Each structure stands twice: as structure tokens, then as C-alpha cells.
Amino acid sequence: GDSVTQMEGPVTLSEEAFLTINCTYTATGYPSLFWYVQYPGEGLQLLLKATKADDKGSNKGFEATYRKETTSFHLEKGSVQVSDSAVYFCALSSSGGSNYKLTFGKGTLLTVNP
Amino acid sequence: NAGVTQTPKFRVLKTGQSMTLLCAQDMNHEYMYWYRQDPGMGLRLIHYSVGEGTTAKGEVPDGYNVSRLKKQNFLLGLESAAPSQTSVYFCASSYPGYNQPQHFGDGTRLSIL
């Protein structure tokens, strides 16, 4: 079955540091890949997505590249801000099914200190 | 921009009580989903619906029922609440297609005593 593995947290960084959150996946067919962000007390918001191999999703300074050869979709940001503190979820939606459900990683808590 | 609205936001129940969580979306999405979020577990799919009048089981359906009588609404019911159902519940909706992102509500925090 489908699965997503993302790096364990929590991750604590200083403002302006470089961020990487690793995500690897196992899926049938050709999945679409997503990063969602959850701020405290809120629901999940789509951060970025990529729908085919070598696609790069980007938003708000965050980037992730769909690497089929390594089955990875690592999230990166060059300079984090305090406002980026949140939980980040990697997820996939597989073309092998009909319900288009999302399979999530367990989430990575990021804390950015001033 | 209402998007996906969940009610209530918080609720405390006693074991054995019943309740219904309401999800409403105003984006004309065909697909709707109910997830639960537990610490260290990510989100797990409870039930989903691919259109008005249809529902199907997800990964963790036991103890829950759902109904989709109108396209814009998706109800999640707990017939006899158990402490193991203490969780944060999220509703989501989307257009059909595995490359379509899901849009989430802000969640319902449910505690079963």
C-alpha cells in the first residue's frame, strides 16, 4: 500500500537558517505529492504540490522537487522566519485508486526562534 | 471566503453519548472526506464521499457513520462515543482527480470522558 515517511521532529532553527524536511514515499501508480502546513489551532493548508516526476512545487519561499528515482519530495526553504513555525505534513495521492484519498506522513513540528 | 466550515469547534462527551459533526463546503466540490488526527499518527481517513448520496469506508471507520444528503454537507456521527475516539476531526473537500488538492476545515476537537 501507499505510505509516506518524513523526518521525525521536532526541528528547532534560528531565524534565517536553512530548512530541509525529508520526505520519502511508496506508492502504486504515479502519485501526486503535496506539502501541507498546519499552524497552531488551525486546519491544514496546502503549501505546494507536484504532480509528475521532476516537477518543482514552490510557494512562500518553500520548494520541493518530485524525485521519482529516489521516491522523495524534500521540503526546503533558504531562510526561515518565526512565522514559519508550524507542523508540516508530506502527503501523496495515488493514481492507483478511485477515491483520491491523501496518505499523510506523521508530521514534523518546526519551531523558529528569533 | 468560507471554504470548509466545521461545527462545533470543541465538544466534550461522556462515554456512550452520541453526537454529529457537521461539515459544509461552498466550493461545489464533489469529493468530501473525514479524517482524524492523533499525536504522532498524522491524519487517518475515516469515511469519504464521492458525491451526493454516496459514502464509503476509509482506513478507520469503526464506531463512525456518515451521511451526504446534500452535495455541500457531510455529516460524521458517533453513535456511542468511546474514549478511544478522543481526537481532532478534520473535514476536507476536493474536485475529483488525484492531482487535486484537498481543502480542510479548522477541525473539531472532541474529548470523550
| Residue of B43, B50, B108 best to disrupt the A interface, most CBs of A under 10 A | B43
- More confident position, B112 or A100: B112
B20 with B3: CB under 8 angstroms?
no
User: Tell me, what's the pLDDT at A95?
Assistant: 66
User: Tell me, what's the pLDDT at B8?
Assistant: 96
pLDDT, chain B, mean: 94
pLDDT score of A97 more than 80: no
Q: Cell numbers at residue A64, please?
A: 520541493
What does the pLDDT average to over A67-87? Answer: 96
Decide if A107 and B42 are in contact by the 8 Å CB cutoff.
yes
- Whole-angstrom Cα distance, residue A69 to residue A3? 16
Q: Using one digit for the tens of pLDDT, what is the confidence trace for A24-67?
A: 999 877 899 999 999 988 899 999 999 999 999 999 999 999 99
* pLDDT band, residue A79 (cuts 50/70/90): very high
Decide if A100 and B98 are in contact by the 8 Å CB cutoff.
yes
Decide if A106 and B104 are in contact by the 8 Å CB cutoff.
no
User: Tell me, what's the pLDDT at A98?
Assistant: 60
Q: Label the pairing between strands B10-13 and B108-112.
A: parallel
Find cell 498546519 and name the residue. Answer: A38
- Whole-angstrom Cα distance, residue B11 to residue B108? 8
Q: Chain A residue closest to B103 (CA)? A: A45
pLDDT, chain A, mean: 92
Q: Using one digit for the tens of pLDDT, what is the confidence trace for B43-83?
A: 999 999 999 999 999 989 999 999 999 999 999 999 999 99
- Choose the closest CB to B42 out of A89, A97, A100: A89
The mean-pLDDT minimum among A86-100, B15-29, B30-44 falls in: A86-100
Decide if A49 and B101 are in contact by the 8 Å CB cutoff.
yes
User: Tell me, what's the pLDDT at A101?
Assistant: 80
